[in-house]
Amino acid sequence: MTAAPRTILLDCDPGTDDAIALWLALASPEIDLRLVTVAGGNVGLEKTLPNARAVLGLAGARGSAVPVVGGADRPLVGAFRSETQVHGEDGLGGVVLPEGPAAAPGLAADVLRERLRAAPPESVTLVGLGPATNLALALATEPALAGRVAEIVLMTGAVGEGNWTPAAEFNAAMDPEALAMLLGCGRPVTLATLDLTAQALVTPARAAALRACGGGRCLRAAADILAALPPSRRFDGRGAPLHDPCAVAWLVAPALFTHRPVSAAVVLEGPDRGRTRIDRWQRGPAPPNARLLERLDADAFFALLGERLATLG
């Protein structure tokens, strides 16, 4: 018997890897994508919102049917900072997409609350691919709505070193207070950290194999985006990690991953602000509050991307 698709509300900040994650979600029958909310993150909201609209619009009727709503243009505390070295000034690595459908009215946190109020208990999966501001605002301002959430899946944090500071991963560093709220909301949280996404390394061979999977618009755009990713110094120029699609792949094909329960917290002050402290071996007193994705079958992951994106647009 085929399982019913999971109802997903997805928050993002497109962003090259967000684009591919959105296309994977749209192309996967395991997912019923009901809403996309957008924050400033990789670049400012004035660019991430049009990018999200364009990404969904390129997927045709399937993507255009999903409302896109703008939200926070800054973190809960402090000022907005963008990351353009990887994603470019436009957020999509210079890959130009046709303008997508207009954004839906409202603010992200308000619309998220509306959707959660209308949902049965433990029926909605929240997916966060950028700074967690929109998701945290929705739950912090009406905490009872956490009972409607089945799982929160986040691409955030690191067990080891960061990619924004020596201590912190970008999404966690951009709004650690928001991440702390989600980790403390009492619902199951699944973490795709830098240690996991490093295994999804886009090498020239993998990028070429993806392009060879077909000629659809979304697949061609995804291949162009992968080609625009600069090789990472963290991996000696061998390729670039593909972060956000890992979080979506967990919902589509969990057999590709190994995982373990952990205790997770985030540092809010000092030079390590934004660092995620993840107790993999339960050495401290805090009980487990998250599931850490640890190992990824990378070849199967890239095969999944090619197979699914080839059916879209």
Please give the positions annotated as active site. Answer: 243
For the chain, the C-alpha Rg in angstroms (whole number) is 18
Q: Are 20 and 222 in contact (CB under 8 A)?
A: yes
Q: Are 76 and 88 in contact (CB under 8 A)?
A: no
Q: Are 87 and 15 in contact (CB under 8 A)?
A: yes
Residue 295 token pair: 């190992």
Residue 302 token pair: 């890239």
Residue 247 token pair: 């979080």
Q: Are 51 and 91 in contact (CB under 8 A)?
A: yes
Q: Are 245 and 17 in contact (CB under 8 A)?
A: yes
Residue 91 token pair: 């957020």
d(CA 252, CA 237): 30
Concatenating the DSSP letter of every residue in 259-270 gives: EEEEEEEE--SS
- CB atoms < 10 A from the CB of 252, how many? 20
Residue count of the chain, please give it. 313
N- to C-terminal Cα separation, the chain:
28
Residue 269 token pair: 């002050």
